Amino acid sequence: MNIIPIIPEKNQNVNAVEQQGMDDKHLKIMEAILPYARKLPQKNLTDITINNITRSKSVLFLLLPEWAQNFPPYNLARLLAIAKNAGFRSDAIDLNIKAYTDHKNWGIDFFPWHGSKEWRWIGNHYYQYLHEHLKPLIDRYIEEIVAKNYDIICFSLYYCNLEPTEYMAGELKKRLPNAKFLVGGPQCHTFPPGPEKPFDVVVSGEGEEILLNVLEMIENDTLPKKHMVYTQPEGQRLNLDTLPMPDYSHFDLSEYNMPNGVNAELSRGCTAKCVFCSETHFWKYRGRSAGGILEEVITLHQKYGINYVWFLDSLVNGNLKELRAFCKGIIASGIKLRWTGYARCDKRMDFDFMKDLADSGCHMLSYGIESGSNKVLEDMDKRVTVDEIEQNLKDGAELGIVAHSNWIIGFPTEKPQDFYDTMTLMWRNRDYLGVVATGHGFTEPPDTIISQNNAKFGMTNIYYLKNWITKDFTNSKVHRMLRLMSVNILLTHTPSKIAVYGNLANLNTKPYHDIVFRDESIFNHVEYEKFDFEICKPGISSFADSVVNEIWPLLRILYLAKGGYTFKMKISKEVSYREFGDRLGCGLNADYFFKIDGEGNYLADFKIKFEQDKYENADPWNYCDFSRESSIAAKRARTLALPGSNGEIQRNNEKYEADMRRHAEIKSLDLSFSYNYKSEGKW
């Protein structure tokens, strides 16, 4: 079936279309998508041309953990299809799913594929917690790969599979010295592996065209002998409609959590330019035609029995008309499909629009909500308001579209009031939320608008305890850890009628907190309110004064939502490092007791002590400057962060010298403090 070339123009006679050989079902699909589908081809796209001739070289594609385990890897299936279509003998191994299946025998007390544990795959943590368990599996596959003597071995590289990938590539390179080793993926955009790593070729950017060129050079023995980094030309956008259909023939679909499902893409890139996001700068937005994606989905349904699709786009609703055309086509096709993907909240997605999504099989959308504060949403350049977010959540829930929601806890401009607004939004919409992903504390990737102009967001280039801190010291890793704990305590006690995993919390908060409510049956509606959270006034420092007040937004929302209660929480350095690793783990020891009755009379008793971590041969204050990053993604971000810069590196020695003076002033500063607070009051 070929749907793409036969979308009729508005004035084309339907009989003429029928004469092209369309059957009734094809015609029904075309009539459904015609009012919405693109009529003219997109401009300034690069078509992919594949010469299918017999080649002598063999190619292997590999994905190592940690990555998603629900579906076979779309990137490998896509690249496998390209290499095969070009005539290369090609194979693929998903070692991530092999490890996921095997991990039940590892004898460890944590789930390595849980989002809150991804830090254990990074750097030395990987060797501390996971390498000894994963190594036997990797070594077994090394033997199989060596026995097959592949000519070209390609790895997909992410920040969370860097260590096992480099280990495996290094061992294979020793055993197969004549093979060529290629690596691509998001990690290669910003931090491409250097010549000291076991890779002959690094692909930075969209990989399909570069892969074809590199394979051709290897086949013809014209590949340079030295380590090479091949970067996608700036501004290039590949035409997704000219790529071959993904090849899943080398994957056992029964191994995956969703054996009836696959990934796909409606588009690449993002129409938004949120200041915190690096993905939007990796590639420029362009979409596939509704006809093209319909052909792929229907073919997969017929060939493999696929009836579930997770679209990997940055956002599925970047082109609302094309998305609606796809939905209308699926409805007209009559296939029973369920699908999900990432989306922006958007006021243009009214109830009727959402109904088309639901009728086409959309059962979940993963929204980047980020915050419940209109001020923070504006600072993020989200181009959406809290009212619009609430409307999308409500309409979706009514139509059976579950909301998977993503949030940024501790954005640089987020104040306690903003954080309180976020928790208020969560509570108010608890029955519309199926999943709440609170992240692991906001980080500052080098290729974002915020990192290229962090002063605008109150940040400094001087990091504290290996993490960013605002200039006024009121937003640090300590504050963000407390907020992450607080929001998950609220979510632990937030019932949802549609919670996918039983409750909405990401963390197990029971080891460090306990709440007894006076009446468990109370679930109050909460309005947004302004509140003064500077209740404790120790007068120690801006850092200490803000840390001791971090608990109040949680205590306030719990009271408004659930009435009277008794609350206890005990935080230790050991707890924070166990939960968050060194990303947010710190030397905070705190003991909180709070009791409030139904009339708002409360007793508070807090004992808080913070001891600044000491690092061997390392300053707790270190300089970190991303302004000279040279990747294409960083240049794109810099163009938006610094209007008029044209993305060029701004070598400002005066600013650097000012940063160094600031560093010299504070590098010996110790923010350790101890504070006890006991008070009675009434809300």
Which sign does the torsion angle of CA 380, 381, 385, 390 carry?
negative
Of 246, 331, 338, 235, nearest to 283 by C-alpha is 235
Instruction: Report the CATH superfamily, name and number, of domain 58-240.
Output: Response regulator (3.40.50.2300)
Per DSSP, the three-state class of 681 is strand
Residue 55's pLDDT band (cuts 50, 70, 90): very high
Query: How much is the average pLDDT of 444-457?
Result: 92
Q: What is the CA radius of gyration of the chain?
A: 27
Mean per-residue pLDDT, 30-55: 85
pLDDT at 6 over 80: no
pLDDT tens for 397-407 read: 999 999 999 99
Q: Domain boundaries in the chain?
A: 58-240
Rounded distance, CA 282 to CA 357, Å? Answer: 28
Peptide bond before 657: cis, by omega within 30 degrees of 0? no
Give mean pLDDT, residues 626-652: 87
What is the DSSP track for 582-621?
A: HHH--SEEEEEEEEE-TTSEEEEEEEEEE----BTTB-SE
Which amino acid is residue 603, in one-letter code? L
Q: Is the pLDDT at 679 greater than 80, yes or no?
A: yes
Tell which phi-psi region holds residue 21, choosing left (phi > 0), alpha (psi between -120 and 50) or beta.
left
- For residues 4-28, give the mean pLDDT: 48
- The alpha carbon of 378 is separated from its chain's Cα centroid by a whole number of angstroms, namely 20
Residue with tokens 């690449």: 268
Across 66-200, where does the E strand assignment appear?
89-94, 152-156, 180-184
Kindly provide the b/e burial profile for residues 245-283, where b requires at least 16 CB atoms within 10 angstroms of the residue's own CB.
Answer: bbbbebbebeebebbebbbbbbbbbbebbbbbbbbbbbb
Among 29-38, 183-192, 303-312, 545-554, the minimum mean pLDDT is found in: 29-38
pLDDT for position 442: 82
C-alpha distances in angstroms, 286 versus 5, 319, 345?
19, 9, 19
Query: Mean of the pLDDT values across residues 638-659?
Result: 86
Name every residue whose Cβ is closer than 8 Å to that of residue 533 and which is 6 or more positions away in sequence: 416, 417, 420, 549, 552, 553, 556
The predicted pLDDT at position 23 comes to: 65
Dihedral pair phi/psi, residue 677, rounded to 5°: -135, 130
Nearest to 669 by CA among 625, 624, 626, 622: 622
Which of helix, strand or coil describes residue 1?
coil
> For the segment 218-231, what is each residue's pLDDT rounded down to a tens digit?
999 999 999 999 99
Contact 526, 517 (CB under 8 A): no
| Residue 112: predicted pLDDT | 95
Tens of pLDDT, residue by residue over 245-265, are 999 999 999 999 989 999 999
What is the residue type of 662? R
Q: How far apart are the C-alpha atoms of 648 and 638, rounded to whole Å?
A: 7
E-strand stretches of 443-598: 462-464, 513-517, 565-571, 588-596
- Determine the Cα–Cα distance for residues 17 and 8; give it in Å rounded to an integer: 7
Does pLDDT of 21 surpass 70? no
Helix axes 386-398, 351-359, angle to 10 degrees: 40
Q: Is the pLDDT of residue 24 over 70?
A: yes
For residues 104-132, give the mean pLDDT: 93
pTM of the model: 0.88
Q: Assign 4 a pLDDT band (cuts: 50, 70, 90).
A: very low
- CA angle, corner 345, sides to 339 and 346, nearest 5? 110
111 burial via Cβ count (<10 Å: 0-12, 13-18, 19+): exposed
Above 90 in pLDDT, residue 58?
A: yes
> What is the reported pLDDT for 22?
46
pLDDT the model gives residue 384: 97
Q: For residues 576 and 465, what is the distance between their CA atoms, to the nearest angstrom?
A: 14
State how far the alpha carbon of 523 is from the alpha carbons of 106, 425, 500, 514, 565, in Å.
42, 14, 20, 18, 13
Q: Which of 347, 282, 338 is nearest to 313 (CA)?
A: 282
| 485 touches 511 (CB < 8 A) | no
Number of H helices, E strands in the chain: 23, 21
Tell me phi and psi for residue 216, to 5 degrees.
-60, -45
pLDDT of residue 3: 35
Please tell me what DSSP assigns to residue 184. E
